[in-house]
Amino acid sequence: MNPASPSAAKPERLVSVDALRGFDMFWIVGAGAIVQALGKMNENAFTTFLTTQLSHVQWEGFRFYDLIFPLFLFIVGISIVFSLDKARESGGRRTMAARILRRGVLLFALGIFYYGGLSKPWPEIQLGGVLHRIAACYVLAALIYLFIQSRKGLLIAAATLLIGYWLMLTFVPFPDLKLDQETVEAVGKKIGNDSPFAIAAATEGTVRGLYEEGRNLTNYFDFLFLPGKKAQRYYINEGLLSTLPSVVLSLFGILA
């Protein structure tokens, strides 16, 4: 076979995307830990600044390290375009949808195994985390792109998700319950039932439009509906409702 023939040509790659992915993976795989170690060896104003920027804020604020995972979700969106555009040449929407779901399920299962799905009993298995979030964003963003190919339609989908998320956080009421161990256990002990639904029903009063850690609709939604172990005891940072704006990051990557 002639190596110069089209059938033998290597698939084209976008160098800028590979470079951006490499930059992001550089920090994900442990460059931040190296900087943290160097900061402990020689603590000064410069290393303190670096180590601060390479750690997440607890709740409010922004640091460089808070950009790494969102950037990865953005790159997922860029990759979706190349993957689906090539797949369209060899299969219909049903075939591509099955392929998207299969990849998403495999990545979600990998997340379960990573968090001890094969070595821990059920209550200790975590169903939410970084890999689970990537799987959800990939599946939802890819399906949206599969069925909505116009730029205007994708912009409308992204705006709908963002506005819908804001409307829920702002206007949907939830029990006035601070999701910390002391408060939740006190209510559970008082009613003799530690079920999230029973604790929520026993809580007097409702609130809305709050964005405090442990006292917002997103955390409360995880408390009620996310089974298994939760990294923050009653909720997780990569929660159910907060998947919506994360999908938008991947849609932005598709639109880039």
Q: What is the pLDDT of residues 224-241, one digit of tens each?
A: 999 989 989 999 999 999
Kindly tell me if the per-residue pLDDT of 208 is higher than 50.
yes
Q: What tens digit of pLDDT does each residue of 111-147 get?
A: 998 888 778 888 888 888 999 999 999 999 999 999 9
| pLDDT reported for residue 117 | 78
Residue 121 forms part of a structural domain: no
Q: What is d(CA 6, CA 3) in angstroms, rounded to the nearest whole number? A: 8
What's the rounded mean pLDDT across residues 66-91?
87
* Tokens 């039932």 -> residue: 193
109 within a domain of the structure (yes/no) = no
Q: Is 18 among the domain residues? A: yes
Residue 7 has pLDDT above 60, yes or no: no
Question: Domain of 24?
Answer: 14-55
Task: Confirm whether 44 is domain-assigned.
Answer: yes
CA angle 158, 212, 229 (to 5 degrees): 80
Q: Please say if the pLDDT value at position 78 is more than 70.
A: yes
Residue 197 lies in a domain: no
Which runs of consecutive H residues, i.e. helices, occur in the chain? 15-26, 32-41, 45-53, 68-87, 93-114, 130-147, 151-171, 181-191, 196-202, 217-225, 243-255
Percent of the chain with pLDDT over 90: 60
Asked if residue 25 is part of any domain, the answer here is: yes
In this model, does residue 73 exceed pLDDT 90? yes
> What CA–CA distances, in Å, run from 117 to 22, 107, 120?
29, 13, 6
Confidence of residue 34 (pLDDT cuts 50, 70, 90): confident
Check pLDDT > 60 for residue 2: no
Instruction: Tell me what pLDDT residue 67 has.
Output: 92
pLDDT at 184: 95
Interval 39-64 mean pLDDT: 87
For residue 51, being part of any structural domain is answered with yes
Q: Tell me the pTM.
A: 0.87
Tens of pLDDT along 93-108? 888 999 999 999 999 9
Q: Is residue 215 in a domain?
A: no
Domain total of the chain: 1
Q: What is the pLDDT of residues 167-204, one digit of tens each?
A: 999 999 999 999 999 999 999 999 999 999 999 999 99
